[in-house]
Amino acid sequence: MTAAPSPRRRLGGLVLLLAGALLAAAPSGAARAAAPAEPPALAAQSWADDFDGPAGSAVDPAKWTLETGGSGNGNHELQYYTAGAANAALDGQGHLVITAKRSTDAGLSCWYGTCQYTSARLNTARTFTQAYGHFESRIKIPRGQGIWPAFWMLGNDIGTAGWPNSGEIDVMENIGREPGTVHGTIHGPGYSGAGGIGAPYSLPAGQAFADAFHTFAVDWSPGAITWSVDGQAYQTRTPADLGGNRWVYDHPFFVILNLAVGGDWPGSPDGTSAFPQTMVVDYVHVTTSGTGPLPYTGRITGPGGMCVDVAGASSADRTPIQLHNCTGNAAQQWTVGTDGTVRALGKCLDVDAASHNDGAAVQLYTCNGTGAQQWAYGSGHDFVNTGSGKCLDSPNGSSADGTRLQLWTCNGTAAQRWTLG
């Protein structure tokens, strides 16, 4: 991104809050082999809030902690975060409404003097943390210069390791002067603040995110994080993107929702900024990774229940990968490893020539550790090639015997849905 966000997490109260809580994750005609092992457990919901409750009530304290204060959070933000339902309340229709408004309390003190705005910031640090999985929220964001909504995560060791060593995953951030664009970013040691690593996602045809609800998510596995908007994956980050810096996304994180006003990145409100502004959250859902315990060894099935197969059961480099009737032989025995590889016959699932192009052939090739051979299996049951950010795909959703598999832009269709087992 051209203007990466500056640190958002430096709130003294949060560190004190965490200090106690966080100290206390086509085959040959060989005879049919033995039946494949039982498939691992697939994705299961591990935490959720659908914000059901009477209008005007505060969020569930068994799920959320409201942070308070006007420190500026290391970014020169202008709001004072309040407790209770003053700026974060249910609407009685299954939504959480976080409201940023002009302050009428002359007794509220911020880093710059009397606070001009109030808002809310909620986290799950004391109630829920998880490593890996699918983290998703459906949100209608606000609009206007100086408005800064976010759905993000911090490592649960922030109270001891400090930021950025604890890691940060920004699932969605928007700054009001970019109504049609959101950003997904990671921050860690050597790549934090303006050096965070991420990318923007923009709506087509001049649409604004504030005009409707949109779903923001990450799929996080041991070796990759993939961001999506409305089911459309738009970037994947792996350790290879860090320029030798440390990948710190290997431990539990907690979830944060907040609506900031002003700050170094979005700038301050101006004469065009209207208040109050609301960030309306339909739900937050978290599921497990969907891979069960890794490594997994067994068949991988796709469209029509057909098996992913090494053509001709050949172990030669560049052998095509195809769909075939399930036979249980070695050409259909795949190991999904903790290292991000998918292997059969002693070699790796590979994208021909490390291509990022739609339609690139998927093949078997000698394992070499490149991004062309790194795959993340998400809770949507897709295999994302993390080197390209695109998905393993059956052309046109075909389930015909001998269909050659390819790389294609992730689209969430049945052509890209793969089951372990």
Separation between Cα atoms, residue 325 and residue 55, nearest integer Å = 54
Give the integer Cα–Cα distance in Å for 379 and 359: 24
- How would you classify residue 3: left for phi > 0, otherwise alpha for psi between -120 and 50, otherwise beta? beta
**Buried b / exposed e across 315-351, counting CB within 10 Å, b at 16+?**
eeeebbbbbbebbbbbbbbbebbeebbbbbbebbbbb
Residue with tokens 């009001």: 176
Tally the residues of the chain: 421
CA distances from 14 to 10, 115, 260 (A): 8, 19, 16
Active-site residue set: 168, 173
CB atoms within 10 A of CB 282: 17
> Tokens 């997994």 identify what position?
296
Burial of 302 (0-12, 13-18, 19+ CB in 10 A): buried
